[in-house]
Amino acid sequence: MPTQKKENDQPGLAQVQFLTVAEVAAMMRVSKMTVYRLVHSGELPAVRVGKSFRVPEKAVHDYLHNAYFNAG
């Protein structure tokens, strides 16, 4: 018998890869403070785990994708 899905279940939540602030900073080649500023401003979504933040990897890719602009 198949299990019923609850309304608040998000698809694929088990597959979400979370990154630390240091990993995001290395990926974006910016300082950790810059990542903290993006998180606190709401530009980069994050989850608070204890005293630290974890950022979904897809959120970093989405942020970078939307940050591109045509300079020429």
Buried b (16+ CB within 10 A) or exposed e, 27-65: ebeeeeeebbebbeeeebebeeeeeebbbbeebbeebee
Please indicate, yes or no, if residue 51 is contained in any of the structural domains.
Answer: yes
* pTM to 2 decimal places: 0.76
Please indicate, yes or no, if residue 47 is contained in any of the structural domains.
Answer: yes
* Tens digits of residue pLDDT in 19-59: 999 999 999 999 999 999 999 999 999 999 999 999 999 99
Tell me which residue range forms the domain holding 55.
Answer: 16-67
Please indicate, yes or no, if residue 9 is contained in any of the structural domains.
Answer: no
Please indicate, yes or no, if residue 4 is contained in any of the structural domains.
Answer: no
* Tens digits of residue pLDDT in 56-66: 999 999 999 99
Please indicate, yes or no, if residue 10 is contained in any of the structural domains.
Answer: no
Please indicate, yes or no, if residue 36 is contained in any of the structural domains.
Answer: yes
Please indicate, yes or no, if residue 5 is contained in any of the structural domains.
Answer: no
Task: Give the count of domains, the chain.
Answer: 1
